[in-house]
Structure 1
């Protein structure tokens, strides 16, 4: 629970603050570690259910997104497009975290017959909104950093 709250709070903080600062980097480290712990707990749930379900596939996708976002930082010296990959990977990671949060917070309120409609419908809505926001905030944000970084 602490890992989830840390990931949500640091991820949200990063979204609304200036990028590239020491505070951004510190919050990013907390986000990456807490997401790593959160993903480990998602995979440990396999032992509770005995099968690889939708939660596990969501964790696989989220892990890939996180690796893309963090891997871009490691390849900064080799790739001119590292910032684009970092932005997209981390943006997809936090979007997936929000989707998981909303699904986990709401699906118990509905009868079992609506489970798939609630989980997939709500997750799809979060991903659509997240994709829209990532797309519409991308150009100005990346251009501003590229032109000031010399």
Structure 2
């Protein structure tokens, strides 16, 4: 759903509906992440990343819901929601590669997948921001 929101035109009923569905899906995903303890047997780094994911999600939706009260709300909404999607993709690539590559090097694969994904995401977020966001006051 994150990709759909990114590539489709912003604003309007479709954007709102798919955005709310994305937020609901991510909240459920992150809550279920707190139930997984197989990897470390206790609170681990992926639980911390779930907290960061929830923070970016809430920090992205709050300005849109409170747009009359938040200065430059579109700026905050755009950046936090896009970073939420980038985090989701980073987790996807890290999970996919650690399960499919025959390396057996868990942490290096996670770090490389995350680094490449966030680097590419950062480039596109900054590039699109120049076209989508109004100039700062």
CA distance in 1, matches of 2:56, 2:83: 6
Give runs of ≥4 in structure 1 deviating > 2 Å: 46-50, 108-112
Which is further off, 42-51 or 125-134?
A: 42-51
SS in 2 for 1:91: helix
Q: CA deviation at 1:78?
A: 1.0
Q: What corresponds to 2:118 in structure 1?
A: 127
Q: CA deviation at 1:23?
A: 0.5
Q: What corresponds to 1:118 in structure 2?
A: 109
Q: Do structure 1's residue 106 and structure 2's residue 92 form an aligned pair?
A: no
Q: What corresponds to 1:5 in structure 2?
A: none
Q: Under a length normalisation based on structure 1, what TM-score does the superposition of the two structures give?
A: 0.83
Q: What corresponds to 1:63 in structure 2?
A: 54
CA distance in 2, matches of 1:51, 1:58: 14
Q: How many residues align?
A: 135
Higher helix proportion: 1
- Structure 2 residues not aligned, in runs of 5+: none
Q: What corresponds to 1:22 in structure 2?
A: 13
Q: What corresponds to 2:2 in structure 1?
A: 11
Aligned positions of 1:14-93 closer than 5 A? 14-46=5-37, 49-93=40-84
RMSD: 1.8
